[in-house]
């Protein structure tokens, strides 16, 4: 008999796998599925980044294992530090306060593995990007969910947590602009978090994956812009979204050097770093022309408007998000008796539109679905027309 470890059995059902099966079934029946389920960017990586990858891949030395003290590795850490300073005026020591990752998902999971004992709590706002809670479960720690909802502005109430929970808490995950709810915060919120965390021995991990995907002039702050933040936490960033490099698997963590040293230690037992040609291409992405980022964001803005205006017109009222390439939508009144999984199933089975069920991001995501704006405007209009049929159907 083959038995997974108990901690693996504690993982919640991965609803995205079920959605994948539903999409496959619909496609097998000949349905042209409009896939707004996964947050996998569909726009292209900029040509100068791809050219650098191709050039660097041909160099023999780059085909060997990556080494922390290699030239490309050092250049990448410097490029990240410079990018952070240019963006947020946060000063980082490239040697001790920057750690490249094979995607931020990898780094977040390994942060939990690095710091959680069996009797340590990870405080995780819920709903959340799944690795924020699944990482803690896989590490064998205790997960404590903090509900996010429209009433609390999708911000966790850290100030009323029970004392025994606080005593056992070792990690807090945050992420703004927020996936899936699209909520944003200002620097004042991070200032309050830093004040709250001081003297508590709780490590704060802030996931800033969507810092660049913002609209109408909104600028997402970095947690590290707060004085004292570097003493208690680290921030994750990724090239997946800003530079349309999701498949390349490159991201980084920055901030507290002690936390990063421990995270690097875990990684040194598990991986051999990032393909050096990808690291060189990432340097080009971070330090080269940034007009591709603006173009990407403008395309998401157009898509956001097409989808939300289209849904509003058919009676599904949703506010426009200030950031991320998602739309977080309360299930329309007519279908509110259904769970988010049932409603997502209905959309894919009946009209071939795939969305993510809110509970894929935790139990407090119930009552909502998430649209990812990863198909073009024409397809989004078509999605609205198909959804209209579901909303106007006689029950
Ligand atoms: C909040 C958040 N963090 C991290 C990730 C994963 O990023 P990466 O591709 O760097 O692993 C995602 C991907 O959707 C995300 O939404």
Ligand 1 center–CA 335 separation, angstroms: 30
Ligand 1 center–CA 89 separation, angstroms: 23
> pLDDT above 70 covers what percent of the chain?
100
Task: Give me the domains of the chain, ranges plus CATH numbers.
Answer: 6-44+292-392 (3.90.1150.10), 47-287 (3.40.640.10)
- The helices-and-strands tally (H runs, E runs) of the chain is 15, 12
DSSP-derived 3-state class of residue 128? coil
* Residue 155 confidence class, pLDDT cut points 50, 70, 90: very high
Q: What is the pLDDT of residue 98?
A: 98
Rg of the chain on CA atoms, in Å: 21
| Backbone angles phi and psi of 372, in degrees to 5 | -105, 130
The CA distances from residue 84 to 155, 211, 225, in Å, are: 25, 11, 10
Whether the predicted pLDDT of 230 surpasses 70: yes
Whether the predicted pLDDT of 224 surpasses 70: yes
Instruction: Give the span between the Cα atoms of 371 and 356, in whole angstroms.
Output: 7
Question: Mean per-residue pLDDT for 38-53?
Answer: 97
Question: Mean per-residue pLDDT for 342-346?
Answer: 97
| Best residue for ligand 1 mutational test, from 129, 237, 285, 373 (most atoms within 8 Å of Cβ) | 129
Whether the predicted pLDDT of 66 surpasses 80: yes
Tell me the average pLDDT of the chain: 97
* Residue 178 CA, closest ligand 1 atom number: 1
Residue-level length of the chain: 395
Q: Which residues contact 352 (CB under 8 A, 6 or more apart)?
A: 26, 31, 32, 33, 34, 386
246 token code pair? 């999701």
Question: Is residue 68 a contact partner of residue 272, using CB atoms and an 8 Å limit?
Answer: no
* Residue 101 CA, closest ligand 1 atom number: 10
Ligand 1 center–CA 240 separation, angstroms: 7
pLDDT in tens, 261-283: 999 999 999 999 999 999 999 99
Ligand 1 center–CA 40 separation, angstroms: 9
Ligand 1 pocket residues where CB is under 6 Å: 39, 103-105, 129, 175, 179, 207, 209, 238, 240, 246, 251
Q: What is the pLDDT of residue 352?
A: 97
Q: What is the pLDDT of residue 16?
A: 86
Q: What is the pLDDT of residue 395?
A: 65
Ligand 1 center–CA 110 separation, angstroms: 14
Question: Mean per-residue pLDDT for 11-17?
Answer: 86
186 token code pair? 């200002």
Question: Is residue 332 a contact partner of residue 314, using CB atoms and an 8 Å limit?
Answer: no
Question: Mean per-residue pLDDT for 117-132?
Answer: 98
| Best residue for ligand 1 mutational test, from 36, 42, 105, 326 (most atoms within 8 Å of Cβ) | 105
> pLDDT above 90 covers what percent of the chain?
97
Question: Is residue 137 a contact partner of residue 143, using CB atoms and an 8 Å limit?
Answer: yes
Question: Is residue 251 a contact partner of residue 101, using CB atoms and an 8 Å limit?
Answer: yes
Ligand 1 center–CA 106 separation, angstroms: 9
* Residue 393 confidence class, pLDDT cut points 50, 70, 90: confident
- HSE-CB of 60 using CA atoms within 13 angstroms: 0
Question: Mean per-residue pLDDT for 167-182?
Answer: 98
Q: What is the pLDDT of residue 394?
A: 76
Question: Mean per-residue pLDDT for 27-37?
Answer: 96
Instruction: Give the span between the Cα atoms of 326 and 304, in whole angstroms.
Output: 8
* Residue 106 CA, closest ligand 1 atom number: 11
pLDDT in tens, 365-391: 999 999 999 999 999 999 999 999 999
Question: Mean per-residue pLDDT for 348-354?
Answer: 97
330: which strand partners? Answer: 368
Q: What is the pLDDT of residue 13?
A: 82
Whether the predicted pLDDT of 153 surpasses 90: yes
pLDDT in tens, 186-218: 999 999 999 999 989 999 999 999 999 999 999
Q: What is the pLDDT of residue 307?
A: 98
Instruction: Give the span between the Cα atoms of 392 and 395, in whole angstroms.
Output: 9
pLDDT in tens, 67-118: 999 999 999 999 999 999 999 999 999 999 999 999 999 999 999 999 999 9
Cβ count near 217 (within 10 Å): 6
Cβ count near 180 (within 10 Å): 27
DSSP string, 193-216: HHHHHTTTT-EEEEE-TTTT-B-T
Question: Mean per-residue pLDDT for 108-134?
Answer: 98
C-alpha torsion angle, residues 228, 232, 238, 241 (rounded to 10): -70
Q: What is the pLDDT of residue 172?
A: 98
Question: Mean per-residue pLDDT for 255-264?
Answer: 98
Question: Mean per-residue pLDDT for 224-228?
Answer: 98
Whether the predicted pLDDT of 221 surpasses 80: yes
Cβ count near 323 (within 10 Å): 24
Instruction: Determine which residue's CA is closest to atom 13 belonging to ligand 1.
Output: 39
Smallest CA-to-CA distance from 211 within 203, 226, 223 is with 223
């Amino acid at each position: 008999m083959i038995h997974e470890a108990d901690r693996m059995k504690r993982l919640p059902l991965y609803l995205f796998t079920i959605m994948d099966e539903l999409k496959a079934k619909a496609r097998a029946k000949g349905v042209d599925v409009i896939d707004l389920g996964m947050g996998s960017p569909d726009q292209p990586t900029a040509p100068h980044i791809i050219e650098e990858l191709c050039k660097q891949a041909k160099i023999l030395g780059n085909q060997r294992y990556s080494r922390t003290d290699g030239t490309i590795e050092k250049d990448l850490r410097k490029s990240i530090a410079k990018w952070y300073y240019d963006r947020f005026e946060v000063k980082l020591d490239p040697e001790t306060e920057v750690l490249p990752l094979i995607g931020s998902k990898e780094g977040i999971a390994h942060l939990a593995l690095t710091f959680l004992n069996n009797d340590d709590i990870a405080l995780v706002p819920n709903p959340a990007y799944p690795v924020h809670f699944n990482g803690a479960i896989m590490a064998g720690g205790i997960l404590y969910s903090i509900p996010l909802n429209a009433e609390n502005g999708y911000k966790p109430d850290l100030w009323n947590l029970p004392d025994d929970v606080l005593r056992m808490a070792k990690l807090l995950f945050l992420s703004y602009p927020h996936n899936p709810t699209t909520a944003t915060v200002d620097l004042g919120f991070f200032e309050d978090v830093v004040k709250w965390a001081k003297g508590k021995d709780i490590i704060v991990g802030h996931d800033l994956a969507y810092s660049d995907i913002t609209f109408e002039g909104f600028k997402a702050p970095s947690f590290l812009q707060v004085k004292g933040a570097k003493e208690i936490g680290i921030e994750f960033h990724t090239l997946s979204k800003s530079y349309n490099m999701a498949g390349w698997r490159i991201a980084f963590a920055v901030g507290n050097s002690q936390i990063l040293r421990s995270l690097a230690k875990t990684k040194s037992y598990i991986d051999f770093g990032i393909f050096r040609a990808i690291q060189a291409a990432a340097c080009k992405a971070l330090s080269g022309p940034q007009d591709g980022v603006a173009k990407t964001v403008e395309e998401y803005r157009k898509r956001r408007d097409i989808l939300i205006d289209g849904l509003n017109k058919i009676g599904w009222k949703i506010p426009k998000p200030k950031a991320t390439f998602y739309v977080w939508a309360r299930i329309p009144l007519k279908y509110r008796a259904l769970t988010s999984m049932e409603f997502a199933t209905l959309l894919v089975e009946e009209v071939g539109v795939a969305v993510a069920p809110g509970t894929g991001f935790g139990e407090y995501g119930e009552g909502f679905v998430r649209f990812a704006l990863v198909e073009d405007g024409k397809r989004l209009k078509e999605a609205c027309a198909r959804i209209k049929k579901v909303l106007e159907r006689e029950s």
